Amino acid sequence: MSRRHALVIGGSLGGLIAAHLMRSIGWDATVFERNASDLIDRGAGLGTHPALLEALRRIGIEFDISMGVALDTVVCLGRDGSVIVRRPTLRTMTAWGRLYRMLRQRLPGDRYRLGMALKPVGGNKQVRTHARPIGQAGGDAVMVLVDAMQRHPEAITVAR
């Protein structure tokens, strides 16, 4: 029996995490990123949260305080500079590029493809996908679409 294969469309943090999670349960995964150049210089500061830390742990990355700056208070300012909200928190701020680099380095080089955009099929703008077995007959395939620029960035679409 051939190994199941996931095609992950979107090579930013969400796509890399999805690929690693698929690999952690026995699937092979290839990530396709539309940009032709590596994304390492993109992104900004990022607040960690329990779901992110759990996903990183599941793929073998133990996040610790040395990977960022610990915060004990969150402060939200209004447009005029006044404090709107001040509340305690236990959160670590880190750099987007740091997480990207850790995730990218753990994925085999041939499993991350730059300059590969998903194109609409047919005459309309709606993207239609057809996932088919990759490799030997009888294998399973799945396509995972992850794009932070979509209207619902938290949504991950899986087509089988």
Question: Which tens digits make up the pLDDT trace of 124-156?
Answer: 554 444 433 333 334 555 666 655 554 444 334
Q: Which CATH fold would you assign to the domain 5-159? A: FAD/NAD(P)-binding domain (3.50.50)
CA angle 72, 73, 76 (to 5 degrees): 155
pLDDT digits (tens, 9 = 90+) for 18-61: 999 999 989 999 998 988 888 888 778 888 888 888 999 999 99
% residues pLDDT > 70 (the chain): 72
Domain boundaries, the chain: 5-159
- Neighbour tally for 2: CB within 10 Å: 14
Spatial contact of 158 and 140, defined as CB atoms under 8 Å apart:
no
* pTM to 2 decimal places: 0.72
